[in-house]
């Protein structure tokens, strides 16, 4: 009888101990190092005010949102010319060239970002990116006429152009009527699906393998005839891209949609877009986003029948 009472009391005390242990607060500190510098910017041969936006990444683990990064020192150089980016006083995290500037095709440009401490380790970080600005394709002429193209009547356009050594690996083309200035940028098209819609062959161009060599080519494009009348200006614009840039654009399109699920003001938001997207920012394990260095080619013609 004594043994039974002892066992009963022992079991009861054990259960009380277990329940009281379950009710204790367990303060487990989850250490995370998922802060990254997000870079959103581009540099072209267009003579314009160029911009770079910096963010500190949101956290997939804690749900902490993105924040802008202020106080950075930024410049872009090809070893000959250096372009400083100054932070906009009205929009923190936005850095812009002091005036209208542009790069030169065939030059390699280096981006440098310093004077920030993203991982809060007490040491200033250095982020860099390097990219060739492709020699832009050179247009010779643009012929336009009404006719039949594809599925019916169209204004048919044939643009003749030349490719040079150190030229682009891919060309993104698009036509406009009358609104020549408002053609936008590559980052305007991120997540649009345009770079996966037609496949590589749609954008890929021939390569010039030797210096002083030239390849002569032409491109067709068609415009709805109701959109064009005599006196209108037809513009044909091409973004000249490297292979690495095009691969990034394809992967970005494959991981996003164009139905408004992500905000273009925060295009590399880790809370909405996978973090395994490639980047040309170094160190890659502490950065995300992309710094586009590309050239722009344009030709225009006043349409008269």
Q: Could you tell me the two tokens for 32?
A: 């995370």
| pLDDT(274) > 80 | no
pLDDT confidence tier of residue 165, bands split at 50, 70 and 90: very high
Phi, psi of 202 (to 5 degrees): -70, -30
Beta bridge partners of 241: 170
Q: DSSP class of residue 136?
A: P
Mean pLDDT for the stretch of residues 253-267: 62
| pLDDT, tens digit (0-9, with 9 covering 90-100), for 195-214 | 888 888 889 999 999 999 99
DSSP string, 137-173: PEEEEEEEEEEEETTEEEEEEEEEEEEETT--SEEEE
Say if residue 62 is exposed, middle or buried (CB neighbours under 10 Å; 0-12, 13-18, 19+).
exposed
Identify the pLDDT of residue 13.
Answer: 45
| pLDDT, tens digit (0-9, with 9 covering 90-100), for 78-95 | 999 999 999 999 999 999
| pLDDT, tens digit (0-9, with 9 covering 90-100), for 17-58 | 444 444 444 443 434 456 789 999 999 999 999 999 999 876
Stronger pLDDT, 3 or 58, i.e. the higher one = 58
| pLDDT(271) > 70 | no
Are the C-beta atoms of 115 and 71 separated by less than 8 Å?
yes
Mean pLDDT for the stretch of residues 165-175: 94
Are the C-beta atoms of 163 and 214 separated by less than 8 Å?
yes
Beta bridge partners of 142: 159
> Given the DSSP bridges, would you call strands 295-302 and 170-177 parallel, antiparallel or unpaired?
unpaired
Identify the pLDDT of residue 259.
Answer: 56
pLDDT confidence tier of residue 258, bands split at 50, 70 and 90: low
Stronger pLDDT, 291 or 150, i.e. the higher one = 291
| pLDDT, tens digit (0-9, with 9 covering 90-100), for 111-140 | 999 999 988 888 999 999 999 999 999 999
Does pTM top 0.85 for this prediction?
no
Q: Is 177 left (phi over 0), alpha (psi -120 to 50) or beta?
A: beta
Identify the pLDDT of residue 1.
Answer: 47
Question: Three-class SS string for 259-305?
Answer: CCCCCHHHCCCCCCCCCCCCCCCECHHHEEEEEEECEEEEEEEECCC
């Amino acid at each position: 009888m004594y043994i039974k009472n002892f066992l009963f009391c022992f079991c009861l005390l054990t259960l009380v101990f277990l329940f009281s242990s379950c009710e204790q607060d367990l303060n487990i500190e989850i250490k995370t190092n998922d802060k990254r510098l997000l870079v959103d910017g581009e540099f072209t041969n267009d003579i314009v005010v160029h911009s770079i936006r910096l963010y500190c990444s949101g956290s997939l683990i804690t749900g902490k949102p993105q924040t802008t990064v202020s106080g950075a020192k930024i410049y872009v150089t090809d070893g000959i010319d250096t372009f400083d980016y100054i932070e906009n006083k009205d929009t923190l995290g936005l850095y812009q060239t002091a005036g209208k500037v542009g790069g030169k095709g065939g030059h390699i440009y280096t981006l440098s970002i310093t004077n920030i401490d993203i991982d809060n380790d007490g040491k200033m970080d250095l982020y860099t990116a390097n990219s060739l600005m492709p020699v832009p394709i050179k247009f010779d002429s643009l012929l336009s006429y009404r006719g039949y193209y594809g599925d019916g009547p169209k204004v048919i356009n044939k643009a003749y152009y030349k490719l040079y050594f150190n030229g682009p690996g891919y060309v993104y083309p698009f036509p406009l009527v009358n609104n020549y200035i408002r053609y936008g940028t590559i980052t305007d098209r991120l997540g649009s699906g345009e770079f996966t819609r037609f496949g590589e062959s749609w954008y890929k161009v021939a390569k010039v393998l030797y210096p002083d060599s030239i390849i002569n080519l032409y491109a067709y494009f068609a415009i709805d005839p109701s959109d064009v009348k005599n006196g209108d200006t037809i513009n044909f614009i091409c973004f000249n891209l490297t292979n690495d840039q095009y691969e990034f654009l394809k992967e970005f399109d494959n991981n996003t949609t164009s139905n408004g699920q992500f905000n273009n003001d925060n295009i590399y938001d880790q809370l909405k877009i996978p973090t395994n997207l490639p980047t040309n920012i170094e160190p890659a394990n502490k950065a995300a986003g992309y710094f586009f260095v590309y050239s722009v080619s344009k030709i225009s013609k006043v349409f008269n029948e």
